[in-house]
Structure 1
Amino acid sequence: MDEDVMLIHDQLQQSLNEQVKQPSLDLLMKEINGWEKKSIEKIQLVAQDNRQKLLDMIAELMDSVKRRLISIKEQLSRARDDDDFFESDINKWKEKLEALKKDLNIPKTVKIKCDDNMNSFIPQISVCEARMITERFGRFLGDIQIQENGQLITHGNSNAHAPVRGNGEYSSGQHLFRFKIENIGTSVNWILFAIVSKIAPIEQYSYKTATTYGWAGGNQVYLNGDCNNDFNGYKTDMETNHTLEFMIDCDRRKIRLKNEQTQSEYELDIDIIKCPFPWQISLDVYHSGTRLRLLQ
């Protein structure tokens, strides 16, 4: 009996060894290895394409900065030769130089987008450009003036809400804008930076308008026209001479507000059912003497 058991054991072990050594196993392993190699090659191709795209964008940015720098230099030379400039001109040139430095140090128009789709085995990565659109202040209500070819708004002598709309319409892509608060008018610091759907009418109390999403003074956050104090930890820190970046990201259905001086940064998700495309910039200033400039 023991010999029979041992014989059966040996036969089973031999069969098992033979199964492992079958050519079909090698073929299956080759198939898996081939899949791995092709997948890695595809990933490497996508990565290389994005590296080249990033280098091309940076080169284009450098050319743009160089052209703007030459333009400023020519303006300075003419002003010096003609002895025709004021302190306000000097301040504007300084601001332009500072903006150029920031463009070189932190190219805000270049973004890396990672589409982490839960249904995708490997997230897609891409380099995209958040273009700075030539926007202008457009329609308005109340005690306010639009000056300098639609780039400056100035509140009059009263304290009253004065809504302003941008002319641009945004339904896709990323769009970056910069606003400089030349004078905030009061220590209360109330300005609304928001978007609305184009279909929404312009009203005196624009912050209450349905489809309004954005940030204002007094730690106020507006979601579809409803005020939510301190939402997501938002704290108002805007002051005179602060520059604010306002990003409209239609693809991700978000907006972002960043203070360049304090580095505070906040994001809001936009419900496109409540705020359908196209979106427009919606501002509201309240206090007398407030001056807000749209930088290009």
Structure 2
Amino acid sequence: MAFSSSNKPRCATCGKNIGTFTCRGCSQDFCLSHAQEHRQLLGKKMDEDVILMHDQLQQCLNQQVKQPSLHPLMKEINEWEKQSIEKIQLVAQNTRQKFLDIISKHTNNAKIALISIKEQLSRARDEDDFFEADINEWKEKLEKLKTDLNTPKAITIKLDDNMNSFIPKISISEGPMIIETFEKILGDIDIQDKGRLITHGSSKGYALVRSKGEYSSGQHLFCFTIENIGTGNWILFSIVSKNAPITEMSYSTPTTYGWAGINQVYLNGTCSNGFNGYKTNMETNHTLEFMIDCDKQKLRLKNEQTQSMYELDIDISKCPFPWYIILNLYHPGTRLRFLQ
């Protein structure tokens, strides 16, 4: 039985002629003339949409292989680097300028002090009025000026040690050395020079002095010169909480934190030899910096001769504020001077 032409599929293009060919891709029917046109259209799409894209992608790939620095993400990295360098340079420039401002005042003060010493020397020479004690005093003043000119204690450069910071921020601060004096607590010990020269007596045993000041906030830098270490090298540089009981063996007192001879480190009154790599290197004529950082709950001990430096973290639940400085001497003849 023959089918009516009205029931046969029509060409998807013209809609008039009977569709004699079915495209496997789009499942549409086309007449003979439009079937060829449909294939030509597919060929054009192949050339324009696929092959052209392929060629462009191949060209881009070849360019990235030859010149990876032109990659868009590389440009982002370069821009990050540029902006970061600009920020670092700005901070560095501001810090340099602040340093120049501070050091200018510092050097002017040194000039004034040096002029004063020169006048004293000229007057003493002209009048032939000087003795050994005067010479030693002038030498001491000049040595102090020399040290302070090269490594001024009033100028501090800090690096932010925030672990979340990729690059530590640098800053500079100015502040006077702490004007501190010490008072006798226990043992055979003598304090002279308005509380700044500490001397152990002739008997062997623990002898203590304590700072008159107490500390609860800020950073505080103290500088000591060991004028004589005695027959041994045991001196304890430490802090204690204000309310802690003090005995001759202060190193074992709860709340005591600090460093002593024989590689001893004291943490809440407990000795931990060699803690954090600490090695005793105290000798006669050595100058030691003892820093209290209340804000970060840290102590720092630095030997200016050997440049060794050690830090301790303070557990304020065990050593609450305010803090005192405790210096404990043991050997006869040990003499320690606090420098302004």
Give 2:267's match in structure 1, choosing from 209, 214, 223: 223
Tell me if 1:48 matches 2:86. Answer: no
Tell me if 1:206 matches 2:244. Answer: no
Aligned residue type for 2:150: N
Tell me if 1:10 matches 2:48. Answer: yes
User: Over residues 180-199 of structure 1, what are the superposed CA-to-partner deviations in whole Å (9 max), with x where a residue is unaligned?
Assistant: 2222221x211111222333
Identity within the alignment, %: 68
Q: CA deviation at 1:218?
A: 1.4
**CA distance in 2: counterparts of 1:63 and 1:172, whole angstroms:** 31
Match of 2:159 in 1: 114
Tell me if 1:99 matches 2:149. Answer: no
Match of 2:11 in 1: none
Give 1:284's match in structure 2, choosing from 315, 320, 328: 328
**CA distance in 1: counterparts of 2:217 and 2:293, whole angstroms:** 8
Give 1:125's match in structure 2, choosing from 166, 170, 177: 170
* Contact 1:139–1:166, Cα closer than 8 Å, also in 2: no
Give 2:121's match in structure 1, choosing from 76, 80, 104: 76
Q: Indicate the RMSD between aligned Cα atoms, in angstroms.
A: 3.4
Match of 1:232 in 2: 276
* Secondary structure class of the residue paired with 1:67: helix
Aligned residue type for 2:214: E
User: Over residues 164-195 of structure 1, what are the superposed CA-to-partner deviations in whole Å (9 max), with x where a residue is unaligned?
Assistant: 11122333333222212222221x21111122
Q: 1:86 to 1:174 in 2, by over 3 A?
A: farther
Aligned residue type for 1:113: K
Match of 2:289 in 1: 245
When the two structures are superposed, what TM-score results if normalisation uses the length of structure 2? Answer: 0.71
User: Over residues 133-164 of structure 1, what are the superposed CA-to-partner deviations in whole Å (9 max), with x where a residue is unaligned?
Assistant: 11111242121111111111111221111111
* Secondary structure class of the residue paired with 1:229: coil
Quick check: 129-138 or 39-48, which moved more? 39-48
* Secondary structure class of the residue paired with 2:266: strand
Tell me if 1:197 matches 2:235. Answer: no
Match of 1:151 in 2: 196
* Secondary structure class of the residue paired with 1:89: helix
Tell me if 1:170 matches 2:215. Answer: yes
**CA distance in 1: counterparts of 2:78 and 2:287, whole angstroms:** 54
Runs of 5+ consecutive residues of structure 1 not aligned to the other structure: 18-31
Q: CA deviation at 1:60?
A: 1.9
Structure with the larger strand share: 1
* Secondary structure class of the residue paired with 2:237: strand
Quick check: 68-77 or 239-248, which moved more? 68-77
Q: CA deviation at 1:78?
A: 4.5
Q: 1:40 to 1:242 in 2, by over 3 A?
A: closer
Q: 1:236 to 1:49 in 2, by over 3 A?
A: same
* Secondary structure class of the residue paired with 2:141: helix
Aligned residue type for 1:204: E
**CA distance in 2: counterparts of 1:5 and 1:226, whole angstroms:** 87
Q: CA deviation at 1:227?
A: 0.9
* Contact 1:130–1:176, Cα closer than 8 Å, also in 2: no
Quick check: 159-168 or 72-81, which moved more? 72-81
Tell me if 1:295 matches 2:339. Answer: yes
**CA distance in 2: counterparts of 1:105 and 1:119, whole angstroms:** 33
Quick check: 72-81 or 47-56, which moved more? 72-81
5 Å matches for 1:15-30?
none
Q: 1:138 to 1:9 in 2, by over 3 A?
A: farther
**Which is bigger in relative contact order (C-alpha 8 A, separation at least 6)?**
1
Q: CA deviation at 1:243?
A: 2.0
**CA distance in 1: counterparts of 2:230 and 2:115, whole angstroms:** 35
Aligned residue type for 1:192: L
Give 2:312's match in structure 1, choosing from 251, 268, 283: 268
Question: How many correspondences in the alignment?
Answer: 286
* Contact 1:129–1:174, Cα closer than 8 Å, also in 2: no
User: Over residues 1-21 of structure 1, what are the superposed CA-to-partner deviations in whole Å (9 max), with x where a residue is unaligned?
Assistant: 77526516734799999xxxx
